[in-house]
Structure 1
Amino acid sequence: MTQVLINGLAVGGIYGLLAVSFSVVYGVLGMVNFAFGEVFMFGAFGALVAAAANTQIAGADFAGPALPQWAAIGIGLVVGAIVGLLVERIAYKPLRNAPILSMLITAIAVSMLLRAVGTFLFGASQSPVPAPDLGEAFEVLGARIQPIDIVIFSVAIVATGAFWALVKFTPIGRAIRATAQDRDAARLMGIGVDKVISTTFVLGSVMAALAGILYSQKYGFAAAGMGFIPGLKALVAAVLGGIGSIPGAFVGGLVIGLTEELAAAYVPEGAAYRDVIAFGVLVLILWLRPQGILGRREVQKV
């Protein structure tokens, strides 16, 4: 049981980080940026390329200078931020005043385009990601716990807490919340709305890239299509927790991760139906509480 819970918290932490990306952009623009699943993927590959002196990507040998793990993670975050900024500048900014359906269709198209670019650059097959050297597994209450799971959950908690504090207590955070509440009023108060929206995309992309890096470290691979299913589950987590709420999005990710792992461990054939069970929990919770776990009756802003 302990091992299942730890694994569920680690997976849920990854979903939670990605869900925060969806939630904060939705809070500001009222749209779902499906491309965060691909930012997730580019972050993982950015860190992989930076960390690997010799590895294989798309079946070809890659040789380059090996950077320390912390520096490689930093490179991955920067790659994710750049991809997110380019998506916002090129794809979404021209449609800022367009109908929401146009933005939704564009978001889906951008997601597919980025996945195709990832396939072109990195190949369709999986690229192995070396496991980080975090020491040997240890026992807790009879369960064998992997250090990577503890690290993932700890990083997810710290990153989400820092992101929430930034939005809640800093000048740029106040500008983000003002823009989320009323874009026109924020502009009249002298807030650079375009800059705030771009900053929101960059911050959300950094969280998505971090989620992708942690995911690749946990499962030992990176692939062009790796962000699709986690992105879908993270979107579910954001809705489950209360779309527009940063703490709610993270809690929703934990609920999805724990539900999956518990289902796989204790439900007959649960491993085969873990996704169905997770989505079933979403339906049940939203039936009982339509605004989500930490949401309000009205859409809660960041």
Structure 2
Amino acid sequence: MQEIINGLAVGGIYGLLAVAFSIVYGVLGMVNFAFGEIFMFGAFGALVAGQTNIAIAGASVDAPALPTWLAITIGVLAGSAIGWLIERIAYRPLRSAPILSMLITAIAVSMLLRAVAVFVFGAAQVPVPRPELGDAVEFLGARVQRMDLIVFGVAVLVTAAFWSAIRFTPIGRAIRATAEDKDAARLMGIGVDRIISTTFVLGSAMAAIAGILYSQRYGFAAATMGFLPGLKALVAAVLGGIGSIPGAFLGGLVLGVSEELAASYVPQGSAYRDVIAFAVLVLILWLRPQGILGRREVQKV
């Protein structure tokens, strides 16, 4: 039970990031590798806004510490703004190019953002102050950290709100129409370019929230912190059925729980945690090639 609870917390983070991958893939049919770096910038955005002193580009910068809720909001807005800029500058000019060109561009943008973060914040881990939340809670013989409860609860609520917005709001219907057929959406008066930009902003906000939760749970932020979670979130999106929002989140939970169980019960499991993540993916895709909640054809958003 202890490992399952720990896995649900980290799986919720993977799930949020997997939803970001899934929504953009559903609309554009491409994998935005830069979500790992947006994940990282969201964490740093909240950290910078909430601290009185932090090193930026090697210089110590003093600033008033903002309230936690405002610092988190700034982190999410920073991630969303970066996502909008990436789509507008890097991806939009290549929209009619072969998908491989967009894929290579996504990798290049990811590396560029990581290099910028190393220059601005340094290559070392930066400690993230964690709030005092009190003692752990006993549940079915396991000690549940209050931070894990917050992480999992926020992940579930944000994903549910995002899914409801996609299913039941006018902008959500426009996103689904664009994902189904861009030309038909244009004929119906939908501004496809605006909808694609909106999709990137929403996905980037999800990635930034995931990054903030990750930095709070593990107590650090680093320029390279988004690489492995981003890779695992992509695995989770495929695992759950890429293009499906509930499937992507479920894939994150399955991946997180599998990692924690393997790390505890497989000999030297902790050393091979990342290998186990891909082994789970291969095993499930052997049994169900379209993913847990995927369809035979790629499911749209």
Fold shared per TM-score above 0.5: yes
Q: Which residue of 2 aligns with 1:22?
A: 21
Count residues with an aligned counterpart. 301
CA distance in 2, matches of 1:149, 1:76: 20
Structure 1: where are the runs of 5+ without partners? none
Offset, 1:55: 4.3
Q: Which residue of 2 aligns with 1:157?
A: 156
CA distance in 2, matches of 1:140, 1:185: 52
User: For residue 220 of structure 1, what is the amino acid of its counterpart?
Assistant: G
Change in 2 beyond 3 A, CA 1:133/1:60: farther
2:132 is the alignment partner of 1:133 = yes
CA distance in 1, matches of 2:171, 2:12: 25
Q: Which residue of 2 aligns with 1:147?
A: 146
Q: Which residue of 1 aligns with 2:175?
A: 176
> Larger deviation: 247-256 or 2-11?
2-11
Contact 1:239 1:249 in 2 (8 A): yes
Contact 1:58 1:127 in 2 (8 A): no
CA distance in 2, matches of 1:224, 1:97: 32
Q: Which residue of 2 aligns with 1:87?
A: 86
TM-score, normalised relative to structure 2: 0.98
Offset, 1:278: 1.6
User: For residue 290 of structure 2, what is the amino acid of its counterpart?
Assistant: Q
Contact 2:125 2:220 in 1 (8 A): yes
What are the Cα deviations for residues 45-66 of structure 1, in whole angstroms up to 9, with x where unaligned?
Answer: 0000011123456765442111
2:218 is the alignment partner of 1:219 = yes
What are the Cα deviations for residues 217-243 of structure 1, in whole angstroms up to 9, with x where unaligned?
Answer: 000100111000000000000000001
Alignment of structure 1 residues 1-302 onto 2, 5 Å: 2-56=1-55, 60-302=59-301
CA distance in 1, matches of 2:145, 2:54: 24
Offset, 1:67: 1.1
> Larger deviation: 212-221 or 143-152?
143-152
TM-score, normalised relative to structure 1: 0.97
Offset, 1:277: 1.4
CA distance in 2, matches of 1:258, 1:59: 39
> Larger deviation: 268-277 or 160-169?
268-277
Contact 2:55 2:121 in 1 (8 A): no
> Larger deviation: 272-281 or 148-157?
272-281
SS in structure 1 of the partner of residue 271 of structure 2: coil
Contact 1:56 1:127 in 2 (8 A): no
Offset, 1:275: 1.4
CA distance in 2, matches of 1:6, 1:134: 18
Coordinate RMSD, CA, aligned: 1.1
User: For residue 234 of structure 2, what is the amino acid of its counterpart?
Assistant: L
CA distance in 2, matches of 1:138, 1:169: 36
CA distance in 2, matches of 1:12, 1:283: 18
> Larger deviation: 71-80 or 141-150?
141-150
What are the Cα deviations for residues 252-296 of structure 1, in whole angstroms up to 9, with x where unaligned?
Answer: 000110000001111111101111112111001101100000000
CA distance in 2, matches of 1:278, 1:22: 17
What are the Cα deviations for residues 106-134 of structure 1, in whole angstroms up to 9, with x where unaligned?
Answer: 00000000000111111111100001222
Offset, 1:140: 2.2
Change in 2 beyond 3 A, CA 1:57/1:133: farther
SS in structure 2 of the partner of residue 144 of structure 1: strand
Contact 1:24 1:204 in 2 (8 A): yes
User: For residue 278 of structure 1, what is the amino acid of its counterpart?
Assistant: A
Contact 2:18 2:236 in 1 (8 A): yes
Change in 2 beyond 3 A, CA 1:213/1:269: same
